[in-house]
């Protein structure tokens, strides 16, 4: 099956090199105006200016799509989500609006443990169906690849249940999915005073089953005061690495406690959240291969200071953007809003935000060889926009859905 897409107003992200972008390079977003693109099967086989498309070749395709007026962007790579969860937590949201503190909400059984209780009560089938629905919604919003974490199970059975749901999503969905084991999301109540007991379960009971069933690609730990210490994180990650799971970590959301230095030392794929960054944290991250994944919608929803994107970019950190979709701190997986918010609140340039949500985000989930830019051989995953005048109009007109249709593996999704 060969497809020609002609009259593309602007083909965005036409990169020759497949490199993780830092500093000034993050603001360079190569585009071709009035372009064509050819797809063979599921992959990009050629592209260029309409002026260079030979008249004769226009007739030799199985399908010709006229994209007149549309910009074509690589689909978003959302490299940090908790897409599989049961129920929702809008009651906690209203409690907070009424002035209850985090501690008071936790005392009422709220937070991660609230989601864990709901998840333990849900069947694998129920979890699959709700996650599938969310995935469908996100694909219509332009997400073509997504990382999904466990971490609302917190028992052997429930963590495995979550990871099996993610595995089934991988098998059934045309989106590219990566799976992360986040058993170390919080300590279950019965282990609050017995950290060793839970860490022992994580390392000696959960990890061997996960490895045997090939249920995860990465390991994650919520490194934070009141959750897992740096030392605990390192032990858990070391055990994960022995099973081939590389770290992608929740770091510096509320406090800077040495998580960055530890992530860098462990050569983590990414350090995510980063609302609270010291000067030294930024310096250490910038001297590493670990990608700083910023989750601005979590900061927005929790009314926290936004991540210091500008300083991080200017000082050479490699950054990506992700949604953190979860029922507690970011009940939205809309990457268009993530991109807009990054420009509006973190002063990222539209080109920087788009690069951080496509090519750099592809690196943050190790799918850069197949996704994240327009390159021959990569998957034909595209956002077709409604008619636009400029790329900057996308974050500028936040909240407006500018997506006309989405193509995954060379086919439009419904
Ligand atoms: O990434 N910070 C840790 N975990 C999630 C929130 C979990 C929840 O509240 O359910 C996050 O923001
Ligand atoms: Fe998260």
pLDDT in tens, 71-91: 999 999 999 999 999 999 999
pLDDT band for position 104 (cuts 50, 70, 90): confident
CA of 7 to the centre of ligand 2 (A): 40
Shared domain check, 297 and 176: yes
At 344-387, the pLDDT tens digits run 999 999 999 999 999 999 999 999 999 999 999 999 999 999 99
Mutate to test the pocket of ligand 1, among 81, 82, 152, 184 (most ligand atoms within 8 A of CB): 82
CB of residue 298 inside a 6 A radius of ligand 1:
yes
pLDDT band for position 314 (cuts 50, 70, 90): very high
Question: Is 209 among the domain residues?
Answer: yes
CA of 216 to the centre of ligand 2 (A): 16
CA of 329 to the centre of ligand 1 (A): 6
Contact 269, 246 (CB under 8 A): yes
Ligand 1 atom with minimal separation from the 80 CA: 1
Q: What share of the chain in percent tops pLDDT 70? A: 99
CA–CA distance from 143 to each of 51, 293, 336, 341, 377 (Å)?
31, 16, 9, 17, 19
CA of 74 to the centre of ligand 2 (A): 24
CB of residue 328 inside a 6 A radius of ligand 1:
yes
Shared domain check, 49 and 136: no
Shared domain check, 175 and 37: no
* β-bridge mates for residue 408, sequence order: 411
CB of residue 329 inside a 6 A radius of ligand 1:
yes
CB of residue 116 inside a 6 A radius of ligand 1:
no
Can you tell me the distance from the alpha carbon of 284 to that of 289, in angstroms, rounded to the nearest whole number? Answer: 10
At 239-290, the pLDDT tens digits run 999 999 999 999 999 999 999 999 999 999 999 999 999 999 999 999 999 9
186 SS3 class: coil
How many structural domains does the chain have? Answer: 2
56: pLDDT strictly greater than 70: no
Model pTM score: 0.98
Question: Is 368 among the domain residues?
Answer: no
Shared domain check, 406 and 320: no
Shared domain check, 143 and 60: no
Can you tell me the distance from the alpha carbon of 124 to that of 239, in angstroms, rounded to the nearest whole number? Answer: 27
**17-26, 54-63, 70-79, 166-175 — which is least confidently predicted?**
54-63
CA of 395 to the centre of ligand 2 (A): 23
CB of residue 111 inside a 6 A radius of ligand 1:
yes
CB of residue 326 inside a 6 A radius of ligand 1:
yes
- Find the domain containing 82 and state its range: 76-363
């Amino acid at each position: 099956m060969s497809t020609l897409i002609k009259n593309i107003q602007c083909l965005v992200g036409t990169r020759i090199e497949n490199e993780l972008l830092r500093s000034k390079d993050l603001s360079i977003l190569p585009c071709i105006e009035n372009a064509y693109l050819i797809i063979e099967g599921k992959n990009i086989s050629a592209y260029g200016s309409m002026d260079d498309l030979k008249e004769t070749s226009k007739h030799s395709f199985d399908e010709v799509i006229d994209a007149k007026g549309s910009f074509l962007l690589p689909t978003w790579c959302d490299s940090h989500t908790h897409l599989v969860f049961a129920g929702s937590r809008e009651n906690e949201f209203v409690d907070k609006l009424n002035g209850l503190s985090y501690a008071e909400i936790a005392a009422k059984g709220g937070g991660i443990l609230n989601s864990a209780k709901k998840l333990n009560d849900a069947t694998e089938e129920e979890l699959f169906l709700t996650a599938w629905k969310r995935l469908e919604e996100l694909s219509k919003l332009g997400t073509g690849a997504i990382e999904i974490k466990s971490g609302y199970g917190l028992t052997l059975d429930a963590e495995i249940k979550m990871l099996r749901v993610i595995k089934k999503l991988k098998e059934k969905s045309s989106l590219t999915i990566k799976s992360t084991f986040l058993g170390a999301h919080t300590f279950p109540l019965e282990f609050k005073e017995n950290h060793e007991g839970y860490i022992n379960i994580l390392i000696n009971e959960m990890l061997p089953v996960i490895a045997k069933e090939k249920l995860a690609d990465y390991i994650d730990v919520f490194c934070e005061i009141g959750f897992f210490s740096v030392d605990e994180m390192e032990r858990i990650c070391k055990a994960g690495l022995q099973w081939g799971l590389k770290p992608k970590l929740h770091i510096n959301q509320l406090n800077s406690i040495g998580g960055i230095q530890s992530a860098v030392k462990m050569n983590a794929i990414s350090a995510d959240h980063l609302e609270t960054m010291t000067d030294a944290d930024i310096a250490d991250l910038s001297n590493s291969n670990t990608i700083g994944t910023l989750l601005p919608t979590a900061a927005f929803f929790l009314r926290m200071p936004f991540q210091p994107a500008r300083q991080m970019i200017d000082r050479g950190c490699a950054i990506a953007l992700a949604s953190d979709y979860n029922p507690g701190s970011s009940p939205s997986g809309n990457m268009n809003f993530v991109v807009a918010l990054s420009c509006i609140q973190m002063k990222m340039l539209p080109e920087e935000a788009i690069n951080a949500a496509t090519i750099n985000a592809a690196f943050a989930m190790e799918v850069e060889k197949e996704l994240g830019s327009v390159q021959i051989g990569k998957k034909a995953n595209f956002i077709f926009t409604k008619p636009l005048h400029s790329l900057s109009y996308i974050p500028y007109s936040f909240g407006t859905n500018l997506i006309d249709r989405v193509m995954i593996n060379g086919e439009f999704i419904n």
